[in-house]
Amino acid sequence: MKQRTLSRTYEFEGKGLHTGVYSHMTVAPAKAGSGICFIRTDLGITIPALAEFVSNTARCTLISKGEASISTIEHIMSALTGLGVDNAEIRIDNGEVPILDGSARFYAEAISADGLVEQDAERVYLELPETVEIRDEKSGGFVRIEPADHLSYDVTVDFNSHVLGVQSAHWDESVDYAGEIAVCRTFVFFHEVQFLASQGLVKGGDVDNAIVVVEHPVDESTVAHMAELFGQPKLSVTPEGYLSNLVLNFPDECGRHKLLDLIGDIRLAGGYLRARITAYKPGHTINTTAAKAVQNLF
């Protein structure tokens, strides 16, 4: 397969989920063999999209180099990977990628509409000499990356939640990434939101960009406070156990979003793998640790 890049430059803007800072971002074509890189245009610093530059994984994936850092890169990284983009340059004028609707939908829709440009170079796949497995002893989670003929992902999430249950999701290059994975939004548990807000996080959270899972009973005054936090005049709890700020795209949308994140994080290994990736209770820390372990093999 030939390497591919974007057919034109795309512009996105909006606030960051965690910082609330408004950013302008462009995603542009790049020459063959260059991979994916981020450029802080306000600082003039380029950060390659590689696991070695990951410096924080608290609630998102953050890369940094010198005085420059860029957080919440996982959704755009996932979109580029799921759509088959080898080379791209992402320019941003602030420190957090816009959250948009909490998914990779807008990236996927824009890029898919135009198609990709084939480049005059063969895609170089990362072919593992051995299986890589990273485990989180506390959660029981793991990410296992095994040599295989084709790239595939299988994810199982279990938050011990009676609302979510155990959810599983699969993606390989035969599955419609844009329609089945990209549209799946980030999620948070209701009881976590107030804590996150007290820590100065989710400053950019609103009614449009997060699924809120209501695991425990809550009274009307608490829901009213949440409505105020989301800038929504009125919210309620649905019979299924979600805040009524949005309607799910799929019953297992939360599991699919964890798959979306994993695809983006594993791309930080430095390219497309020929591997079968299996994850149980994945998260940004274990995902990016696995990506770095793969990167270190080459």
Beta strand ranges found along 161-229 (DSSP E): 166-172, 187-189, 211-213
Task: Look up residue 186 and give its DSSP letter.
Answer: P
Beta strand ranges found along 179-238 (DSSP E): 187-189, 211-213
Give the full edge-to-edge strand order of the sheet including 10-15: 10-15, 22-29, 88-92, 36-40, 45-48
162 is catalytic: no
Q: Name the strand (E) or helix (H) holding 147.
A: strand 141-147
Q: Rounded distance, CA 271 to CA 292, Å?
A: 12
What phi and psi values does residue 187 have, to the nearest 5 degrees?
A: -145, 160
Q: Rounded distance, CA 284 to CA 197, Å?
A: 20
Q: Rounded distance, CA 90 to CA 10, Å?
A: 10
Q: Rounded distance, CA 95 to CA 62, Å?
A: 9
Q: Rounded distance, CA 70 to CA 39, Å?
A: 9
Sequence-separated (6 or more) residues with CB below 8 Å from residue 150? 172, 173, 274
CA-wise closest residue to 11 among 65, 76, 57: 76
- 9 close to 117: Cβ distance less than 8 angstroms: no
Beta-bridged to residue 54, according to DSSP, are 63
Sequence-separated (6 or more) residues with CB below 8 Å from residue 8? 29, 114
Q: Which of 18, 75, 257, 284 is catalytic?
A: 284
Catalytic residues: 284
